[in-house]
Structure 1
């Protein structure tokens, strides 16, 4: 009996690829990058399943052109706005994603960004590596402490709640804005703000971790930055285009914003080069979920969702 084929657009952990290979004949794209629509069509022709990652477009034309063989798309990501769900529904293509299992890893990295931005981690490491460190000084690289300050979390879903749990350990007061107010058991003493602007006014540390939506495109603009407290720290583990780069860079240069920690960027990997020139920015290359355990769990969640659906079940990570 001929087995169905699965197309892997980008490499996955070896353990995940081995598991996929026990159920499908695997076709792999060359390299590790986002493919054009033409490249996806060439590689996925005749495949029943396509595995994608964040930011790999799967638009209507591609979904339609891969019919009638394509039956499932699995995205190894919590975001799914790179997939045309309406087209998938129209053509009977099931879509699976990987929520939940990456919350802790993303929260860990968000707190790393908070700490490195607030305590001037980039400048400190650069000074030591330069060989020009003159030794201890009482006034060298003074940063901002977390204890007693206020963290404003935009997007209090699984990741936001995990970030809040970690920041509480530093004695940080938690504030948040969400589409809905959480229950008291979920809030754990956090203060809810009905509007994003109310949240910004009390955010000594602003952590952006909301899902990517059209409404949040360039959310953090000049007007909203002006509402932040003096010497605020901005952290983004949401989507790159949640931030207006011109506005944030201007605020970082002027000192209106003390520092920023960024893991995501508009047009990545071609981030705005001005960020690289700024000393008060701590940069990471979109690695919030990049731990061995997490990436394995993400891949297996997607695969197991596809297999469960094939067995007639209704997996929780099925989008359509």
Structure 2
């Protein structure tokens, strides 16, 4: 689709990346009153870079990507791409909780605030985490695959033997890595809904949040891994593996692992070894290290539930992604940095 060019306007310009707005039309109209909105629709990386070099859209101050599966066709937002953005760009708001595809530090050095939309998918991701956790405890993948096989032999085998490996989560200790909005909501559901004890590890201790939730902080990841029966990864990916061979070696034997964060947080070779040895008794994986490819050594196991990176996928999440991105832009227009409700890179931003 052909891109539009900016008409003469006294309003600051923002680029709307990707598809049309679907739900929050009144808020989008308000955005149009504050900004001159230019659409890029869908374009590949090379075309996007060429457009930036030729300054096709002028000196725009913001970018808005309301959906995670459109408007991102230009690939990773790395230093090569960020260097082509105009100095006028001050804010980039995007759908989704994760931001491993964008170099937020490089954006900060460029003078650009990056805002994600994690708050909008908190409920959906937390629900999926509980689903995966229950799948691990109750051997749901085995039961499901046996029934789906339509084999009387497999059905009978599962029906007669699953009880020996199935457990209730009541009274078990759940470890959570990352006590942000999503981690905190998982903790609420696990304690209030299933009677689990919750421990957590995060790079920063959150005393007020832990007291409100009644959870226990662990000073190190190793302390968490050595004491919990179930583990949920709910932390952003910062470029480093969180669970490698060393971490699997200190885990409590029989731990059940759930990952609703990013696949690259886990060394999948080490996870396969841990499953083979029984260090990990079951796993629930919404995310994978080499998406969209799933490791068949994990997918084919009866004690591993695999999803297609859909933990946050719901209509409610998408409505919220749209809305939160616009709220960040409107807040920035009114109050600057203080008006941004979900900025993630302010610690690196040089403020003049």
TM-score class, shorter: 0.7 to 0.9
Is 265-274 or 151-160 further displaced after alignment?
265-274
Q: Which residue of 2 aligns with 1:127?
A: 146
Quick one: which of 190, 195, 209 aligns to 1:171?
195
Counterpart-to-counterpart distance in 1, 2:105 and 2:279: 42
- CA spacing shift, 1:40–1:260, aligned 2, 3 Å: farther
Write the deviation string for residues 206-240 of structure 1: whole angstroms up to 9, x where unpaired: 111122223xx222122221222222110111221
Residue segments in structure 2 that go unaligned for 5+ positions in a row: 1-6, 347-352
- CA spacing shift, 1:106–1:16, aligned 2, 3 Å: same
Across the aligned residues of Structure 1 and Structure 2, the Cα RMSD in angstroms comes to 2.9
Quick one: which of 133, 137, 151 aligns to 1:118?
137
1:261–1:281 Cα contact (<8 Å) kept? yes
1:5–1:27 Cα contact (<8 Å) kept? no
Q: Which residue of 1 aligns with 2:15?
A: 6
TM-score w.r.t. the length of structure 1 is 0.85
Quick one: which of 20, 27, 33 aligns to 2:40?
27
More helix as a share of residues: 2
SS at match of 1:95: strand
Moved over 6 A (4+): none
Q: Which residue of 2 aligns with 1:109?
A: 128
Q: Which residue of 1 aligns with 2:231?
A: 206
Q: Which residue of 2 aligns with 1:180?
A: 204
User: Number of paired residues?
Assistant: 312
Offset of residue 65 of structure 1: 2.0
Is 286-295 or 21-30 further displaced after alignment?
21-30
1:1-320 → structure 2 map (5 Å cutoff): 2=8, 4=13, 6-9=15-18, 11=19, 14-15=22-23, 20=28, 23=32, 24-29=37-42, 37-42=45-50, 46-47=56-57, 48=60, 49-52=62-65, 53=68, 56-67=75-86, 70=89, 72-133=91-152, 134=155, 137-140=159-162, 142-168=165-191, 169-183=193-207, 186-187=210-211, 188-214=213-239, 217-313=240-336, 314-318=339-343, 319=345
Counterpart-to-counterpart distance in 1, 2:311 and 2:48: 26
1:46–1:66 Cα contact (<8 Å) kept? no
Counterpart-to-counterpart distance in 2, 1:261 and 1:177: 20
Counterpart-to-counterpart distance in 1, 2:203 and 2:105: 23
